[in-house]
Structure 1
Amino acid sequence: MTPYRKTVLLTAAVAALAGPQAAYADPGAGDLRRDGGGVCTFPMKKQFEGRPWPLQRVLLDELWQDTRGKGVRVAVIDTGVDDTNPQLTSAVDASAGADLLPGGGTDGTVDQVGHGTKVAGIIAARPRGGTGFVGLAPEATIIPIRQNDEKNSGKDTTMAAAIDHAIAKGAEVINISQDTTRPLTEDSVLGRAVARAVGRDIVVVASAGNDGMDGRPKRTYPAAFDGVLAVAASDRNNERAPFSQAGRFVGVAAPGVDIVSTVPGNGQCTDNGTSFSAPYVTGVAALMRAKYPAWTAAQIVARIEQTAERSVNGHDDFVGWGVADPVRALSGDDAPQDAPHPDPPPARAQAPEPAHLSGSRTPQERSKRYAAYALAAAAVLVGVVAGTATVARDIRRRRGPRAR
């Protein structure tokens, strides 16, 4: 990942956060990095009054006509989720949370970085007067699991423990906005934990990472594990954000530039990164879990990928199957599919057959017409013959008898 520095302030604490715009050394064995960061101080008195651009593209009344995600439990495995922000207070189930870092607390609601609080807000922030920002699934429940901090203390082992905790607390969707470029196998500690979640029919969504400035495909984990929906970042033009990691493992893209969300204490900030693309898709998955309770996790992932807005007919390494379209994902028919597929090619236009031209008269009329022509011709011929005979007779009379 190519990070940039982020300064945050919470009760006089200052920390650095890795993000997509500055050099960053590869992590140590098993280290997991957060995938986004920007300049933001909190708590914030200011709220964004208008509707943020990713939500301007969504007809929220249509998106929520069947459900707002009520009853769906979403685990946010991150830097914690601060539930003192008014938009998250009723969204967070602190009793189900966990803090897997030393000295942090017990329930996952300590967030000294603000990263996890932003992630949770994109998923399930409740409506609030004075702001147009709201989560995509504003009645879903967040399970806060603190597994990382400003020092990037998260390891593959603590991530695996966090996934197991999410399974134990009944998570139906898991959001992981962290990654490592260290190659991990399916048989690694983290690989086995992801497999357990997938085996329990949980939708696992992970950020693709922000190491994509060179445009070269590279696998990141846990996003690249089988069964995980890996999310890249797109911009306002539905194109890949320059920092977004490319790779065959990318499932879809989602807005990841200038993203508004909640911060600890109060208010909102903007940020960039695939960290904030992943929860956008997680919110869609939460709505789908509520609307289609009988669907498997794989079928939900397939619908999100199949209904994405595509730049090519099929899959590519930069935006996967396309940019996620929440309304299309929720408004399709109720027949699930197990995997996405390219759209059928448009039907080739066939050359029109030559038009058959015919006269306006019927066969009977044509027969009568031909008979009239024959009769007229015969009359003319008789007239000519008779006229010729008369002329010849008159000539003979004028000449008189010929001498013999």
Structure 2
Amino acid sequence: MPPTKRALLAGAAAVAAMSTATPVAAADDAGTRPYAQVRLAGNGACQTPAEQIKGRPWPLQRVLLDELWQDGKKGRGIRVAVIDTGVDDKNPQLAGAVNARAGRDYLTKGKGADPTKDEVGHGTKVAGIIAARPHKGTGFVGIAPASTIIPIRQNDADNSGDSDSMAKAIDHAVAEGADVINISQDTTKPLSRTSVLAKAVRDALDAKVVVVASAGNDGLDGKVKNTYPAAFDGVLAVASSDRNNERAAFSQPGDFVDVAAPGVDIVSTVPGGGQCTDNGTSFSAPFVAGVAALLKSRHPDWTPAQIATRIEQTAERSINGHDNYVGWGVIDPVRAVTASDSAEPATTPTPDPGVSKAPPPDTASFSLAETSQERTERYATYAAGITVVVVTVIAGAAAALREARRRRDLRT
């Protein structure tokens, strides 16, 4: 954890606990509005159920799936709670992945409550990135396609959810045996460490549940600010990266950002069947939650901090250290999973006061990717060196030619 993150949280502790719940918006569609209509490249809209997208989505093209799933588990036995707008289980890729009985609907009271009712489609897309099963006719599949989704319907297009209902949803996920919790929602309203939501996060971490949250999509102005619950200590905060492994323009920067994951032109499942594309840190977080599920299935005794540390240590970096845009770098799912068998990551320090990050990754042992500026400087150095060599060779040849002519004239 960057030192400033602990300091910010310590400062927030001085703020009195809020008496009213804080609305929490979906981190979706580049921050323009919560739960914007999903977009399908080509016609700008997505009708549900949608047509299947045949090809392999670009983030998955960069992952050797056979190597990622070489242990054969694919996240089997791991429960991932998706606290969102509900998760549709009619989509064929999610039909066998959703445990509706373990879910909860905090928006509808009585007999009509149904955690698989997703009128927005947001939660269905989030769940698909984590656990979508392979299906004939599409190259899309989840990162942990044998894991189980616990659907928790806590928000909708009207932002009916708030920080208190999210806290209840987290408590429910823990009670139902969740191993990982994905929260693709955020609020910029400061929440103290004594808030109900902060306590729910601490309780989940104490129960060894990995909590993953999106960083938010208000980053177009480039201003650094905290979003919650991502900025709570112990939460694995995820920003969005683009095809060049750079921060997506909308992704919220901040020193609380731990890693980045693909968040541009992301394909995933929609209610009823098929897939559509969308953008946002909402769809970056579940990539990380999926990797956390794979790690949890291989190392069930690892703490949330150890899993977070492994994901951070194996991320692809453009600088030596942490920055406010992509954290410790863009996740490398295969490296995170395969490296986990060679060494155990650092253990969690003594919690104070109950939530703590593992020590920052040791950057010295990793090969670092170049930034575009570093690459330009390297090419300029090569060019200058080549120029010096060429000039030296020409000068030497000219001197040799003059000496040969002088000797010939002397003989004559």
TM-score by length of 1: 0.77
Secondary structure of 1:275's counterpart equals helix
In the TM superposition, residue 45 of structure 1 has moved relative to its aligned partner by 4.0
Task: Tell me whether 1:98 sits opposite 2:104 in the alignment.
Answer: yes
Match of 2:346 among 333, 337, 350: 337
**Partner Cα distance (2:297, 2:108) in 1:** 35
1:154 paired residue among 148, 161, 176? 161
2:42 maps to 1:42: no
Output the CA distance in 2 between the equivalents of 1:202 and 1:253. 20
In structure 2, distance between residues paired with 1:121 and 1:128: 12
- C-alpha deviation, 1:342, in angstroms: 3.9
Deviations 1:248-270 (A, max 9, x none): 00000000000000000011000
Deviations 1:289-324 (A, max 9, x none): 001112111100000001000011111000000001
SS in 1 for 2:305: helix
**Equivalent residue number for residue 273 of structure 2:** 266
Amino acid corresponding to residue 344 of structure 1 in structure 2: A
Aligned-pair CA distance for 1:29: 5.6
The total of aligned residue pairs comes to 320
Task: Identify the match of residue 300 of structure 1 among 300, 307, 317.
Answer: 307
Aligned-residue Cα RMSD (Å) equals 1.6
Does residue 57 of structure 2 align to residue 52 of structure 1?
A: yes
Return the alpha-carbon distance in structure 1 between the equivalents of residues 167 and 361 of structure 2.
31
SS of the aligned residue for 2:150 comes to strand
Please show how residues 342-381 of structure 1 align to structure 2 within 5 Å.
Answer: 342-344=362-364
How far apart are the structure 2 equivalents of 1:42 and 1:200? 40
Q: 1:136 to 1:115 in 2, by over 3 A?
A: same
Spell out, residue by residue over 1:14-73, the C-alpha distance to the aligned partner (whole angstroms, 9 max, x if none): xxxxxxxxxxxxxx9600000113334332341111100000000000000013000000
The AA in structure 2 aligned to 1:102 is T
Q: 1:345 to 1:295 in 2, by over 3 A?
A: closer
> Structure 1: how far apart are the matches of 2:271 and 2:246?
30
The structure, 1 or 2, with the larger RCO (C-alpha pairs under 8 Å, 6+ apart) is 2
Deviation at 1:326? 0.2
Q: Distance in 2 between matches of 1:325 and 1:171?
A: 24
The structure with the greater share of residues assigned to helix is 2
Native 8 Å contact 2:183 2:212 kept in 1 = yes
User: Partners of 2:156 and 2:210 in 1: how far apart?
Assistant: 24
* CA–CA separation in structure 2 for the residues paired with 1:192 and 1:310: 33
Contact 1:147–1:159, Cα closer than 8 Å, also in 2: yes
Change (3 A) 1:342 1:312: farther
Following the alignment from structure 1 to structure 2, what is the Cα–Cα distance between the partners of residues 103 and 55?
A: 39
What is the 5 A alignment of 1:288-327? 288-327=295-334
Match of 2:138 among 126, 131, 146: 131
C-alpha contact 2:170 2:201 (8 A) present in aligned 1: yes
Q: Displacement of 1:330 after TM fit? A: 0.5
SS in 1 for 2:364: coil
Equivalent residues in 2 for 1:378-389 (5 A)?
none
Shift, 1:208, TM fit? 0.2
Q: Distance in 1 between matches of 2:105 and 2:156?
A: 11
Alignment of 1:3-402 (within 5 A): 30-37=22-29, 38-39=38-39, 40-66=45-71, 67-102=73-108, 105-332=112-339, 333-338=342-347, 339-344=359-364
Deviation at 1:103, TM superposition (A): 5.1
Cα distance, 1:110–1:327 mapped onto 2, change above 3 Å: same
Provide the rounded CA distance (Å) in 2 between the counterparts of 1:107 and 1:337: 41
Structure 1 residues without counterparts, runs of 5 or longer: 1-27, 348-404
- Contact between 1:313 and 1:342, CA under 8 Å: does it hold in 2? no
Q: Cα distance 1:334–1:42, how it changes in 2: closer, same or farther (>3 A)? A: farther
Partner-residue secondary structure (3-state), 1:344: helix
Tell me if the contact between 1:95 and 1:107 (Cα under 8 Å) persists in the aligned partners: no
Aligned 8 A contact 2:107 2:113 in 1: no
1:102, CA displacement in angstroms? 2.9
C-alpha displacement at 1:124, in angstroms? 0.2
Which of 1 and 2 has greater Rg?
1
Q: State how far apart, in whole Å, the 2-side matches of 1:135 and 1:266 are.
A: 15
